[in-house]
């Protein structure tokens, strides 16, 4: 059958192994110094491994492949590794909206008398591509003095289009954001974008992640960047943004202060154990 499945560019792959922990199904192994797909049967084609590849060597393609077999994956790859891997696998399926595969996994556990470990399920799980309705919060009427103005200072904002030599990077406070963040965080302009230069990208859908590392490294090398704020969604595929920034800093041999926020679908931005609530204004205050 023709279906979505992982494809690895062996020329780009350095064998770093960072993708291996992000494949709960055990479909990837390092063999002869390269990450390799060891079995079509074990690859669900959801692409959880893509975001952590610093070289952009992994992509999802469509080709003829054996059908993914959830129950065989449970029997041969998941259950033998214990409760922690079972939990991670169930969460992985929920994160990507694979309710059918999730039910098959639960059925396998029930049929073999294996306890289902506690895990974030349904609306409580950090959603990835799953179609979900997000519960709203109680609305509090707030009067604004006129229209809220945009804080955007430069164009373009897509990292793929940005010119590394642009003068607006000189002495800039840089905001590097996931594409989806401004739609999830209501006060994006006032709380994060104010007085910053903005770059956005998606580590899952954008093809040239390795090129992004190179471009950011060039920006860091050619300009005095005062600070970097990394703002990404809570979904697993977005977490690779911080890795891209860290690798670019290493390549540029620069030490620049980095602050990272994770934005939830409920509109919170979390730094460490502190949460900034929706509707909070006041520039760059930290929640607490």
- Say yes or no: 109 and 177 in one domain: no
- pLDDT score recorded for residue 120: 56
What sign has the CA pseudo-torsion 149, 154, 158, 161?
Answer: positive
DSSP string, 136-202: PPPP-----SSPPPP---SS--BTTT--TT-GGGTTEEEEEEETTHHHH-TTHIIIIITT-EEEEE-
Of 4-18, 73-87, 138-152, least confident by mean pLDDT is 138-152
Alpha carbons 236 and 46: distance in angstroms, whole number: 11
Q: Is residue 79 part of a domain?
A: yes
CATH of the domain at 178: 3.40.50
pTM beyond 0.75: no
Residues 6+ apart with CB under 8 A from 57: 8, 9, 10, 12, 13, 14, 35, 210
Q: Is residue 260 part of a domain?
A: yes
Alpha carbons 185 and 182: distance in angstroms, whole number: 5
Alpha carbons 41 and 272: distance in angstroms, whole number: 38
pLDDT band at 144 (very low <50, low <70, confident <90, very high): low
Q: Is the pLDDT of residue 223 over 70?
A: yes
Q: Is the pLDDT of residue 230 over 60?
A: yes
Residue 98: strand, helix, or coil: coil
Q: Is the pLDDT of residue 279 over 80?
A: no
Question: Which residue is associated with the tokens 């996931």?
Answer: 178
- Say yes or no: 183 and 272 in one domain: yes
Instruction: Out of 61, 92, 123, pick the residue that ends a domain.
Output: 123
- Say yes or no: 6 and 118 in one domain: yes
Instruction: Out of 89, 107, 123, pick the residue that ends a domain.
Output: 123
End-to-end CA distance of the chain: 52
Alpha carbons 1 and 236: distance in angstroms, whole number: 28
> Residue 227 is part of which domain span?
167-276
Q: Is the pLDDT of residue 173 over 90?
A: yes
Q: Is the pLDDT of residue 125 over 50?
A: no
Domain count, the chain: 2
Q: Is residue 103 part of a domain?
A: yes
User: What backbone phi and psi angles, to 5 degrees, belong to 246?
Assistant: -60, -40
Q: Is residue 138 part of a domain?
A: no
- pLDDT score recorded for residue 78: 84
Q: Is the pLDDT of residue 136 over 60?
A: no
- Say yes or no: 187 and 106 in one domain: no
Q: Which two tokens stand for residue 7?
A: 């494809």
- Say yes or no: 115 and 175 in one domain: no
Residues 26-58 have pLDDT tens digits of: 788 888 888 888 777 778 887 778 777 888 889
Instruction: Out of 56, 90, 123, pick the residue that ends a domain.
Output: 123
Alpha carbons 32 and 39: distance in angstroms, whole number: 16
Q: Is the pLDDT of residue 276 over 70?
A: no
- pLDDT score recorded for residue 145: 58
- Say yes or no: 119 and 10 in one domain: yes
Q: Can you give the length of the chain in residues?
A: 288
Host H or E run for residue 5: strand 2-8
pLDDT band at 285 (very low <50, low <70, confident <90, very high): very low
Q: Where are the alpha helices (DSSP H) in the chain?
A: 70-73, 83-95, 99-111, 181-184, 188, 209-222, 240-252
């Amino acid at each position: 059958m023709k279906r979505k499945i992982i494809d690895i560019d062996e020329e780009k792959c350095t064998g770093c192994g960072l993708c291996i922990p992000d494949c709960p199904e055990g479909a990837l192994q390092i063999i002869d110094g390269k990450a390799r797909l060891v079995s079509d049967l074990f690859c669900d084609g959801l692409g959880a491994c893509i975001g952590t590849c610093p070289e952009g060597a992994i992509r999802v393609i469509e080709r003829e492949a054996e059908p993914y077999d959830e129950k065989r994956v449970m029997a041969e790859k998941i259950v033998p590794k214990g409760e922690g891997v079972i939990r991670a696998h169930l969460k992985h399926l929920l994160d990507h909206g694979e309710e059918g595969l999730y039910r098959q996994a639960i059925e396998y556990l029930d049929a073999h008398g294996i306890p289902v470990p506690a895990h974030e399920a349904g609306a409580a799980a950090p959603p990835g591509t799953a179609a979900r309705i997000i519960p709203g919060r109680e609305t509090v009427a707030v009067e604004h003095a006129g229209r809220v103005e945009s804080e955007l200072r430069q164009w373009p904002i897509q990292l793929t289009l940005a010119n590394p030599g642009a003068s607006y990077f000189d002495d800039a406070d840089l905001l590097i954001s996931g594409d989806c963040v401004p739609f999830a965080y209501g006060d994006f302009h006032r709380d994060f974008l104010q007085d910053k230069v903005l770059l956005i990208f998606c580590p899952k859908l954008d093809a040239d992640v390795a090129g992004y590392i190179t471009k950011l490294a060039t920006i860091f090398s050619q300009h005095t960047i005062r600070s970097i704020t990394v703002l990404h969604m809570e979904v697993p595929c977005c977490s690779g943004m911080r890795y891209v920034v860290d690798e670019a800093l290493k390549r540029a041999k620069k030490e620049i202060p980095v602050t990272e926020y994770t934005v939830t679908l409920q509109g919170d931005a979390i730094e460490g154990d502190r949460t900034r609530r929706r509707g909070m204004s006041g520039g760059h205050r930290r929640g607490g």
